[in-house]
Every structure is written in structure tokens, then in C-alpha cells.
Amino acid sequence: MYLYNMEIELQDRQIRLVVLAERDEEAFDQIEGLLARFYVKTPEVLEAAIV
């Protein structure tokens, strides 16, 4: 397992997430689920990158 520092660009702000995953693809797949936990309405992800 690896920790991924993800930089996420939303419509109105830029946020960072730390994700625990086996592979890069799994880290990107977890983004929407994590955002849904912290926002009432899931924001649209414009861009996501591993930093």
C-alpha cells in the first residue's frame, strides 16, 4: 500500500487529498467517493494529479 498526495481542481477551489491505495489507478478511482463523503453535493472534478 502507498500513500498518494492528490491535488484536485474543482470548479471554485483547489484541494488536496491523501489516499491509501495499491496502485495509481486505485487512487484516482477513490477521488469521487471521498469527495461525496465531505460535500453535500459532490463537486465536479476538473483535474486530478498525483503530487
- Model confidence at 26, pLDDT cuts 50, 70, 90, reads very high
Q: Residue 24 belongs to what H/E stretch? A: helix 24-29
Domain span holding position 29 = 2-50
Amino acid at residue number 34? L
Is residue 48 within 8 A of residue 6, CB to CB? The reply is yes
Residue 30: closest CA among 9, 13, 6, 1 = 6
Three cell numbers written together for 29: 478511482
Confidence class of residue 17 from pLDDT cuts 50, 70 and 90?
very high
Task: Please state the domain count of the chain.
Answer: 1
Q: What is the pLDDT of residue 18?
A: 95
How many angstroms separate the CA atoms of 35 and 33, rounded?
A: 6
Q: What is the residue-averaged pLDDT of the chain?
A: 94
Report field, pTM of the whole predicted structure over 0.85: no
